[in-house]
Amino acid sequence: MQQSQEVSFKRSLSLVDLTLLGFGSMFGSGWLFAASHVAALAGPASIFSWLAGGVAVFFLGLVYCELSAALPKAGGIVRYPAYAHGPLLGSLLGFITVIAYSSLTSVEIVAARQYAGSWIPGLTRNVAGDPTLLGWFVQFAALCFMAKLNMSTVKTFAVFNNIITIFKFVVPTLVIVCLFMYVRGDNFHSHGFAPHGWQSLETAISTGGIIFAYLGLTPIVAVAGEAKDPQRTIPLALILSVVMAALVYVLLQFVFVGSVPPDLLTNGWSGVNRSLSLPFHDLAVMLGLGWLASCVVLDAIISPSGTGNIYMGSCSRVLFAWAQTGTFSSWFAKLDPKTNSPRRAVMLTFGLSVFWMLPFPSWDALIGVVSSALVMSYTFTPVAAGALRRSNPELARPFQVPFMGFVGPVAFIVATLIIFWSGWTILSWLLSLQLVFIAGSVLVRHFVQKIDCREDLRSCGWVIAYFAGLLVFSRLGSFEGIALIPHPVDDVAVALFAWAIYAIGIRTSHRDTGLADEEEVILHAQADAVRATIGAR
């Protein structure tokens, strides 16, 4: 596989830095908006939606633990599929991930501005949360500050993130403790526990904001090249951040459902997202807890901004890794000699984040697209892990997932179902865009770069079949499709389809990925770290 000259980051991030990075990236605007959205969709049963989302992300996290410990490289989410199935899939993952991360950066800033509008008049122009011109320029100024911070050293970035993350942990804890005293048992059954059926739990996970809130694993993987003792710290940080986030999210949803005033539920749970559009702030005001509402607004400005900052840094490292694979402009595979930061990649990330804000969207308008793109960026990692087990069994794996024959396909099936639940409206263009990108990449590599693409197509044929098959199931299924395949038969059919694709994918690894060279680089880095430790003693 053709690669640009390897450039290395300095390893300066500790286990605490990585864990707070993961927890901080999971704890942005999700907790501030999703509680009322998922309650409107699924009622009290939304608590189980948060549990199911946490389990799903935990399975994906286990797969990342194995790969990131074996190959602790910057921008791993792009590199792992490229190692397993070649540069074409690595390029596709770069494209998907950059869309997801750059748009997520914008989503978080939009969320912070929406909450700030409750304090500062003139930032929001309607009940949908769309910004005024002043509000848009406030968002732009926030992105400029984040870009400047991401061009600093990674340690400066980590210290800033640690302070923000500790603060954003304190406020949700206060919310849980205070609202717990107002929980009413009647709320959990008076209008039905799952008033819209159990299918609504699936919709809540996919487009209600749950999976969006949870998917903060990859920022840890994105900075793997900057982690101290990565074989130990990255797996621990991944597991700790998922468990911490799941615990807090489930407790937040529980106290929200239990403390909603009964008069807001006269027509059931369907309109609670409109009555409590800023759920915990509005609820605190209704309960006479003005001081808590103020704390929520302050956290609502700081928390999403911190998460957006994390994703801007992660996106720039994905661009950096993508450039190093040789399938994206090598101009971005450069580090600033003073700060050791990917300055050029940060600049492109900043431009893309501004682009996502151009239509003046609200949080609601962007969340479905971002969630689907995020999950899609995760989907191929379980296949890559299974393929590398078959093609490179000798690869040193300091953290080896037990029962990978079960965990791998389950993780892939769960991710596929979450994508499917996004619905036809989103998938019709998002999946089609990926197919167009694959076709364009093949044409450019064949006719412009004069590269023989037969091996790429052989190892990535399953991806084309996967996207095309999902399009068909989405159109025929019950999630905004024509319901020719009724629910839950469509879920079963998609799960079986994903299992078949996984079985094909792990057997069609690329024959020339350059992984042997990567292993040699990692072994040298480990030896240097051991020598440095002995020398320090």
Q: What does the radius of gyration of the chain's CA atoms come to, in whole angstroms?
A: 23
CA 117, 121, 122, 128 torsion-angle sign: positive
Give the whole-angstrom CA distance, residue 188 versus residue 43.
8
What total of structural domains would you count in the chain?
1
Is residue 134 a part of any domain in this protein? Answer: yes
Is residue 97 a part of any domain in this protein? Answer: yes
Mapped onto helix, strand or coil, the DSSP state of residue 124 is strand
Reading the block at residue 477, the tokens are 């299924």
Residues 6+ apart with CB under 8 A from 461: 508
Listed as ranges, residues in the chain with pLDDT below 70 are 1-10, 28-29, 74, 127-128, 207-208, 216, 222, 359-372, 374, 512-537
Sequence-ordered alpha helix ranges (H) in 189-229: 199-207, 210-214, 218-222
Whether the bond into 402 is cis, omega within 30 of 0? no
Give the whole-angstrom CA distance, residue 166 versus residue 151.
23
User: Can you tell me which residue has the tokens 């320090």?
Assistant: 536
Is residue 532 a part of any domain in this protein? Answer: no
Task: Fill in the DSSP letter of residue 478.
Answer: S
pLDDT tens-digit map of 358-400? 765 555 555 566 666 767 777 888 999 999 999 888 888 888 8
Give the whole-angstrom CA distance, residue 446 versus residue 62.
37
Give the whole-angstrom CA distance, residue 244 versus residue 240.
6
What is the distance in angstroms between the CA of the first residue and the CA of the last residue of the chain? 40
Range of the structural domain that residue 328 is part of? 29-416
Residue 506 confidence (pLDDT): 94
Contact criterion met (CB below 8 Å) for 278 and 270: no
CATH of the domain at 88: 1.20.1740.10
Is residue 441 a part of any domain in this protein? Answer: no
Give the whole-angstrom CA distance, residue 202 versus residue 48.
10
How remote is the C-alpha of 234 from its chain's centroid?
17
Angle between helices 76-85 and 363-391 (to 10 degrees): 40
Give the whole-angstrom CA distance, residue 10 versus residue 337.
11
Is residue 527 a part of any domain in this protein? Answer: no
Segment holding 103, helix H or strand E: helix 87-116
Give the whole-angstrom CA distance, residue 500 versus residue 507.
11
Is residue 534 a part of any domain in this protein? Answer: no
Residue 137 confidence (pLDDT): 93
CA 230, 235, 239, 245 torsion-angle sign: positive
Give the whole-angstrom CA distance, residue 234 versus residue 13.
10
Buried b (16+ CB within 10 A) or exposed e, 264-284: bbeeebeebbebbbbbbbbbb
Mapped onto helix, strand or coil, the DSSP state of residue 281 is helix
Is residue 431 a part of any domain in this protein? Answer: no
Contact criterion met (CB below 8 Å) for 256 and 39: yes
Residue 3 to residues 134, 204, 237: CA-CA distances in angstroms? 44, 41, 29
Is residue 209 a part of any domain in this protein? Answer: yes
User: Can you tell me which residue has the tokens 């807090």?
Assistant: 248
Give the whole-angstrom CA distance, residue 248 versus residue 176.
8
